[in-house]
Structure 1
């Protein structure tokens, strides 16, 4: 399987999962609402919570947060109550780790395509994030071997942003799990999609959102739902 095909499957899987979680989040207004399906190695549990926050316009917003665990790993999905600006950075920071950036499916598929095509002129993602360029350079120079390039790409960059949701899958979550389990605060930063035409007096900072929350309780609820995991 090529790196590109593998990443397309990842993007499709995240899209399917977050679509289902969006429905669960709308009907769940209680912290640690737990839903499990399947048995044994096929069991999959989801714990959801709603996180309200005050925006910088004097109003209120809310995030629908879901942690999902199956036999393979724990992943995290967040559904927004309004569209976000995909052209602006979305980051999730935990004290003690570098901020995790999120990427559009197009950005990730461009990266996977560049990785498949190898170090040829014009194969780097157009106007891609600088961390993509650094990664491709490491692969081209042999610092990351070809057989490890695909898994390393998913470990670093498997964090997808869409207009109303983001998903953080196995690789990035594995890096953050010890810090999240210690109940350190997470800081999510994103920008709301401006409604209507942008006026000359529009101040983009008014659309910025910063939300701090903790996920230790969600992981504890998953532990109770899947004690053998």
Structure 2
């Protein structure tokens, strides 16, 4: 139950933050150091929460332009990253966020994470989870089953590793995964987001999926500096 509550709060947080935002041809990338367009804070003391937002334009593979609405959120618990996309993405394809110097972070649907939470609660779920599940889920469940991760720590560890959610028009990266990337992001290294745009119509026999791939490169150093100013000492 605790694991499922943690998952519910994660998904609810993604919806709360992103709903408030304005929002083989080789992949075309666009690297820009973000200029802060908006900083909003609410609450005082331990209850203070600040959001810094910007819009990131990028060139797509069809000669057009797209936009990402990016927000970095900080409260007493952690710093999180939320992105709203200007067009739907295909959830069946991987969505990854890579920072120079760190392995790429994968994103998961709420259903995938819910099934992982169910598997943890069922105890001994390794074989069932391996049926079409993400390999990293299977490795994690095996570690729990073998006692490498204590059962009482499994829920927190699940969120620490996999608290990265993708939905058709938005993605979110919170607490554990984001905290691991923060030292690199603070050094103003590039982030590279890769996803697959959802096809606009019925797929034809001549459809070339690579045309729907998107790679967007950006930096978050400016947004983190704005958060530091808004929440000094945090």
Q: Say yes or no: TM over 0.5.
A: yes
Q: Which has the higher contact order (CA 8 A, sep 6+)?
A: 2
SS of structure 2 residue aligned to 1:156: helix
SS of structure 1 residue aligned to 2:200: coil
Structure 1 position 5, deviation (Å): 3.0
- 1:142-186: CA deviation from partner (whole Å, max 9, x where unpaired): 111111111111011000000100000111011000000000000
Tell me the distance in 2 between the aligned counterparts of 1:121 and 1:165.
30
Structure 1 position 35, deviation (Å): 0.8
SS of structure 1 residue aligned to 2:129: coil
Segments of 4+ moved more than 6 angstroms: none
Change (3 A) 1:109 1:225: same
Structure 1, 47-56 or 124-133: larger mean CA deviation? 124-133
Residue of structure 2 equivalent to 1:19: 19
Unmatched tracts of structure 2, length 5 or more = 24-33
Change (3 A) 1:175 1:30: closer
Structure 1 position 120, deviation (Å): 4.3
1:153 and 2:158 correspond: yes
Residue of structure 2 equivalent to 1:173: 178
Tell me the distance in 2 between the aligned counterparts of 1:3 and 1:223.
31
Residue of structure 2 equivalent to 1:51: 56
1:224 and 2:229 correspond: yes
Structure 1, 142-151 or 73-82: larger mean CA deviation? 142-151
Tell me the distance in 2 between the aligned counterparts of 1:126 and 1:154.
21
Tell me the distance in 2 between the aligned counterparts of 1:68 and 1:187.
19
Tell me the distance in 1 between the aligned counterparts of 2:231 and 2:174.
18
Matches for 1:27-66 after TM superposition, within 5 Å: 31-66=36-71
Residue of structure 1 equivalent to 2:192: 187
Residue of structure 2 equivalent to 1:110: 115
SS of structure 2 residue aligned to 1:13: helix
Count how many residue pairs are aligned between Structure 1 and Structure 2: 224
Structure 1 position 78, deviation (Å): 0.4
Structure 1, 126-135 or 102-111: larger mean CA deviation? 126-135
TM-score by length of 2: 0.91
| Structural RMSD (CA) | 1.6
Unmatched tracts of structure 1, length 5 or more = none
Residue of structure 2 equivalent to 1:88: 93
Instruction: Select which of 91, 101, 105 maps to 2:106.
Output: 101
TM-score by length of 1: 0.93
Assess if the C-alpha contact under 8 Å between 1:32 and 1:217 holds in 2.
no
Assess if the C-alpha contact under 8 Å between 1:2 and 1:116 holds in 2.
no
Residue of structure 1 equivalent to 2:26: none
Residue of structure 1 equivalent to 2:29: none
SS of structure 2 residue aligned to 1:51: strand
